[in-house]
């Protein structure tokens, strides 16, 4: 049931002390992991109030990542669609090609503050794995990345990049060999190596404090967008749109705007082959119900017995049967709305973006773009839409070629 968002004083009041966003979130972990989670929470709370921590983050964001990322008026696309003014927040221009590094920097600095000497991560599209391998190389830390075998195959360029950066990539064969399975194995590693190991989670999922901590690190996206939009348009955008795998780039864009009630917020899930027609999708909010996975309570794709279903999406980064708990809460409060976009619609958006804007996008933000394309024409010309271009498409060209039936070597 949708709650009335007017009953909520501030959307910044979550999570509570136990890490809950309303009835979502929390920490459902084994006894072995509990002391680690508590240590991490303590260290994060200390770092949050430590100016030197944020100075270090600001320095690295600026000089290593290349922040602030530009806010770009997509003029040709706006003309082409003939409606609202479309802006892209260009997080695909970050070092390593996606938003993932914003959060990885924060977590690796925390790991070093905690004296951890071994970093593990899970990855789907490989962007979080590449970001983690990159920052580990930068600080001389060993890095182990768990990745499902299906993703190893479809995101081969990123597997090679991680190896070049000195990381060990561990292929995970269980399930469908996607992000859920990689996260299961990373959690197993963490339980086994609790003393020296830091688990660098790539999205706003996992047990508390991860969802809030990752959101806080990614909120740089929304903070920059707010001030850039004021500079360029003299006002806030009317609509924010972002794609959702676990939900970190979306939470990063949305969070600083949550109390600005005039701003309409839309998250876009992966509709795969169709949410109504098939079970082959990853739309956890549209097609799932609440349950517990990877240490938190949230909306999940599951069968009648509560067994987690395998998701499906052309985009490896969105191929996760859950969603960060804060999104579940925003969905239930009605503060944000969630829609889904099919593989086919995302592929169309991919081609339009290449041709109209000279930007080759990752398949993940193509889902957000496809929704922009769906609604823009019906909106007035002074309406402002801002979408997060959260990743670049180099990693996806093979998948796109296959899906479009194009021979890569062909000159057509
Ligand atoms: C480019 C890109 N966008 C989006 C995502 C989805 O993650 P999230 O929902 O946490 O932003 C991924 C995940 O790998 C990604 O690589």
The predicted pLDDT at position 2 comes to 59
> How many residues would you count in the chain?
412
Residue nearest to atom 7 of ligand 1 (CA): 245
Binned at pLDDT 50, 70 and 90, residue 3 comes out as low
Residue nearest to atom 10 of ligand 1 (CA): 248
Residue nearest to atom 6 of ligand 1 (CA): 245
- What is the Cβ-side half-sphere exposure of residue 57, based on CA atoms within 13 angstroms? 22
Interval between CA 410 and ligand 1 midpoint (Å): 30
pLDDT at 7 > cutoff 90: no
Residue 338 backbone dihedrals phi, psi, to 5 degrees: -130, 135
Interval between CA 93 and ligand 1 midpoint (Å): 14
Binned at pLDDT 50, 70 and 90, residue 326 comes out as very high
Write the CB contacts of 181 (distance below 8 Å, at least 6 apart in sequence).
148, 172, 173, 174, 175
pLDDT tens track for 211-249 = 999 999 999 999 999 999 999 999 999 999 999 999 999
Residue nearest to atom 15 of ligand 1 (CA): 317
On whether the pTM is more than 0.85, the answer is yes
Question: Averaged over 47-74, what is the pLDDT?
Answer: 98
The predicted pLDDT at position 1 comes to 46
pLDDT at 409 > cutoff 90: no
pLDDT tens track for 250-309 = 999 999 999 999 999 999 999 999 998 888 999 999 999 999 999 999 999 999 999 999
The predicted pLDDT at position 220 comes to 98
Question: Averaged over 25-30, what is the pLDDT?
Answer: 97
Residue 311 backbone dihedrals phi, psi, to 5 degrees: -80, 175
Question: Averaged over 45-54, what is the pLDDT?
Answer: 98
Residue nearest to atom 1 of ligand 1 (CA): 391
The predicted pLDDT at position 410 comes to 62
Please check whether residue 208 is in contact with residue 45, taking contact to mean a CB–CB distance below 8 angstroms. Answer: no
pLDDT tens track for 350-400 = 999 999 999 999 999 999 999 999 999 999 999 999 999 999 999 999 999
Interval between CA 101 and ligand 1 midpoint (Å): 11
Q: What is the 3-state secondary structure (H, E, C) of the chain?
A: CCCCHHHCCCCCCCCCCCCEECCEECCCCCCCCHHHHHHHHHHHHHHHCCHHHHHHHHHHHHHHHCCCCCEEECHHHHHHHCCCEEEEECHHHCCCCECHHHHHHHHHHHHHHCCCCEEEEEECCCHHHHHHHHHHHHHCCCEEEEEEHHHHHHCHHHHHHHHHCCCEEEEECCCCCCHHHHHHHHHHHHHHCCCCEEEECCCCCCCCCHHHHHHHHHCHHHHHHHHHHHHHHCCCCCEEEEECCCCHHHHHHHHHHCCCCCCEEEEEEEEECCCCCCCCCCCHHHHCEEEEECCEEEEECECCCCCECCCCCCCHHHCCCECCHHHHHHHHHCCCEEEEEEHHHHHHHHHHHHHHHCCCECHHHHHHHHHHHHHHCCCCCCCEEEEECCEECHHHHHHHHHHHCCCCCCCC
The predicted pLDDT at position 411 comes to 59
The CA distance from 98 to 174, in Å, is 27
Interval between CA 127 and ligand 1 midpoint (Å): 7
Measured CA to CA in angstroms, residue 9 lies from 25, 227, 336 at distances of 20, 23, 16
The predicted pLDDT at position 383 comes to 98
Interval between CA 7 and ligand 1 midpoint (Å): 31
The predicted pLDDT at position 77 comes to 98
Binned at pLDDT 50, 70 and 90, residue 115 comes out as very high
The predicted pLDDT at position 298 comes to 98
The closest-lying atom of ligand 1 relative to the alpha carbon of residue 391 is 1
- The conformational region for residue 349 under phi > 0 = left, psi -120 to 50 = alpha, else beta, is alpha
pLDDT at 412 > cutoff 70: no
**CA angle in degrees (0–180, nearest 5) for 158-294-9:** 105
């Amino acid at each position: 049931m949708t709650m009335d968002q007017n009953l909520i004083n501030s959307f910044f009041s979550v999570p509570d002390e136990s890490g809950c966003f309303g009835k979502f979130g929390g920490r459902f972990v084994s006894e072995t992991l509990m002391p680690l989670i508590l240590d991490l929470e303590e260290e994060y709370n200390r770092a949050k109030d430590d100016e030197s921590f944020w100075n270090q983050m600001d320095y690295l964001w600026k000089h290593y990542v290349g922040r602030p990322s530009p806010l770009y008026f997509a003029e040709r696309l706006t003309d082409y669609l003939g409606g609202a003014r479309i802006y892209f927040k260009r997080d695909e221009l970050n070092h390593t090609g996606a938003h993932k590094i914003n959060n990885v920097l924060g977590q690796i600095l925390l790991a070093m503050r905690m004296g951890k000497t071994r970093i593990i991560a899970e990855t789907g599209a490989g962007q979080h794995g590449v970001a983690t391998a990159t920052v580990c190389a930068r600080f001389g830390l060993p890095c182990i990345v768990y990745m499902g075998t299906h993703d190893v195959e479809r995101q081969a360029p990123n597997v090679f990049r991680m190896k070049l950066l000195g990381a060990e990539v561990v292929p995970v064969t269980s399930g469908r060999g996607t992000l859920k399975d990689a996260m299961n194995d990373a959690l197993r590693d963490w339980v086994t190596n609790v003393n020296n190991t830091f688990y660098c989670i790539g999205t706003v999922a996992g047990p508390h404090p991860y969802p809030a901590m990752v959101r806080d690190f990614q909120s740089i996206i929304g903070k920059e967008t707010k001030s850039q939009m004021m500079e360029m348009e003299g006002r806030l955008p009317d609509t924010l749109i972002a794609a959702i795998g676990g939900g970190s780039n979306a939470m990063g864009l949305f969070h600083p705007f949550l109390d600005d009630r005039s701003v309409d917020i839309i998250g876009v899930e992966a509709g795969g082959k169709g949410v109504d027609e098939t079970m082959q999708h990853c739309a956890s909010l549209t097609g799932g119900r609440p349950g517990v996975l990877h240490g938190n309570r949230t909306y999940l794709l599951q069968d009648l017995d509560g067994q987690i279903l395998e998701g499906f999406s052309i985009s490896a980064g969105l191929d996760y049967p859950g969603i960060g708990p804060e999104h579940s809460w925003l969905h239930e409060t009605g503060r944000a709305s969630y829609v889904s976009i099919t593989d086919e619609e995302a592929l169309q958006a991919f081609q339009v973006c290449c041709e109209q804007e000279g930007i080759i996008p990752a398949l993940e933000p193509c889902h957000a773009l496809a929704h922009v394309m769906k609604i823009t024409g019906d909106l007035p010309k002074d309406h402002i839409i801002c979408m997060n271009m959260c990743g670049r498409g180099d990693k996806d060209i093979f998948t796109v070629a296959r899906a479009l039936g194009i021979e890569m070597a062909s000159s057509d």
